[in-house]
Amino acid sequence: MERRKITIARLRSGINYKEPLIDILDSFCYLYHRFQNENIDKFNFGYYNFGFNKAHRRDPKDMPDSDIIVIPSENEFHYHIPNYIDPKNLEKSDTAIKEHILPHIKGKHIIIFRSDRGDTAELYKEKVFNNIDCKVSVLDETDIPGNVHQLKYHFIQDIKQYQTNNKKYKFSYWGTEKRRDVGGVDSGDERHTILKQIQDGEGRFNTRFYGRFSLVKRDSKSVPMAELVPILDDTQYTLCFNWKSDTATTSRYHEAIACDVIPMVWKNYDSTGILVKDDWQRVSSVEELHDKMTEHNYINKISSITNSYKQSLLTKDEIYDSFEKKFLELLNE
């Protein structure tokens, strides 16, 4: 029986995966690399704008004879918000998609490795693939029990050099806001105003913000997690938000715990309690967040929250086994 060919294709900025904590999607990159190594005799593998410790090129040579195309995806929806992406970068990647991807996807099975709930199958079908007849499946970060980014906890633990209880930053936030959705419409997400209120109250606290924001004055643009870890090691609290689903969890929760940062959560984040075992972590106003950060003992709280977290933490092998099972199910649909 002829082996099927799987090509991993990065549609926007290229990825050259060398080690964890450099790329937002490095949990999926790590798992896919291991899958490739363990299934090299079962599938043929190709690359587009993606590499494992080698140059990533927009060379479509592996596209025509691919049976399955895997697309690691985070923040694709940003490319469909007017004036959000630099016009030159947008034109470059849109042209590459039109010339290198669209001619080769009719009848193919496209599997999205998704790390942002805004990157829906409908977005890819309608906006990216122009309704070309193809099958689109999604393997979401939350399809792995506890979230695929539990791996970030392990990755951070592998590189941490010290631990301190004398943290100089009361609150840090890293990432982007979700103010606009596809087409530039108001997304309904309120984190941009919440983060602004937190920063406006920073006379009470020492805060840090890293990423892209419309209202918040940032301390730095987004940086790889490997560079951010020393800052987080000096931070006591952060705040986790959901988008499009109250039941979902996010990478930030795992990154925070790994750096001994208490992950407070906004309202109904993780409403089924997969990660959040202590309702004390839930806040519904900035004033409530301020009060809790002021009135409670950080050392006691981080200890109890971390201990609860570790009770359900999967090992790297367990995370891989779950990923492999779900990925194979999609491949065999």
What letter does residue 315 receive in the DSSP assignment? P
Q: Given this model, what pLDDT does residue 166 score?
A: 82
253-290 confidence digits (pLDDT tens): 999 999 999 999 999 999 999 999 999 999 999 999 99
**17 neighbors 53 (Cβ within 8 angstroms):** yes
Residue 32 has pLDDT above 80, yes or no: yes
- pTM attached to this predicted model: 0.95
Q: Given this model, what pLDDT does residue 162 score?
A: 64
35-59 confidence digits (pLDDT tens): 999 999 999 999 999 999 988 889 9
Q: Given this model, what pLDDT does residue 160 score?
A: 80
Q: Helix H segments across the chain?
A: 26-38, 87-96, 121-123, 150-159, 191-200, 225-232, 251-258, 286-295, 298-311, 316-331
138-174 confidence digits (pLDDT tens): 999 999 999 999 999 999 999 887 666 689 999 999 9
**What span, in angstroms and rounded, lies between the C-alpha atoms of 280 and 214?**
29
Mean pLDDT for 18-37 is: 96
Element (H, E) at 178: none
Q: Given this model, what pLDDT does residue 254 score?
A: 98
HSE-CB of 123 using CA atoms within 13 angstroms: 20
Q: Given this model, what pLDDT does residue 201 score?
A: 77
Q: If one looks up domain 5-145+316-331 in CATH, what number appears? A: 3.40.50
- C-alpha 241: how far from chain center: 13
Residue 28 has pLDDT above 80, yes or no: yes
Structure tokens at 47: 């690359």
**What span, in angstroms and rounded, lies between the C-alpha atoms of 245 and 250?**
11
**Residue whose pair of structure tokens reads 């042209």 in the numeric block:** 95
User: What's the chain's average pLDDT?
Assistant: 95
Mean pLDDT for 204-217 is: 91
Q: In what order do the strands lie in the sheet with 68-73?
A: 44-48, 5-9, 68-73, 109-114, 135-140
Q: Given this model, what pLDDT does residue 142 score?
A: 97
Query: For the chain, which residues make up each domain, given as ranges?
Result: 5-145+316-331, 150-311
Topology agreement, domain 5-145+316-331 and domain 150-311: yes
Q: How many CB atoms lie within 10 A of CB 152?
A: 24
Q: How many CB atoms lie within 10 A of CB 288?
A: 12
Residue 249 has pLDDT above 70, yes or no: yes
**What span, in angstroms and rounded, lies between the C-alpha atoms of 16 and 234?**
30
**63 neighbors 28 (Cβ within 8 angstroms):** no
184-202 confidence digits (pLDDT tens): 999 999 999 999 999 987 6
Structure tokens at 136: 């689109």
Mean pLDDT for 301-324 is: 97
Mean pLDDT for 67-72 is: 98
**What span, in angstroms and rounded, lies between the C-alpha atoms of 311 and 297?**
22
* pLDDT category of residue 1 using cuts at 50, 70 and 90: low
DSSP states along 247-263 = S---HHHHHHHHTT-EE
Residue 217's region, left for phi above 0, alpha for psi from -120 to 50, else beta, is: beta
- C-alpha 231: how far from chain center: 19
* pLDDT category of residue 203 using cuts at 50, 70 and 90: low
**What span, in angstroms and rounded, lies between the C-alpha atoms of 153 and 48?**
29
CATH of 150-311, picked from 3.30.70.20, 3.40.50.300, 3.40.50.2000, 3.30.70.980, is 3.40.50.2000
Across 53-168, the runs of DSSP E, i.e. the strands, are: 68-73, 109-114, 135-140
Residue 99 has pLDDT above 70, yes or no: yes
Residue 73 has pLDDT above 90, yes or no: yes
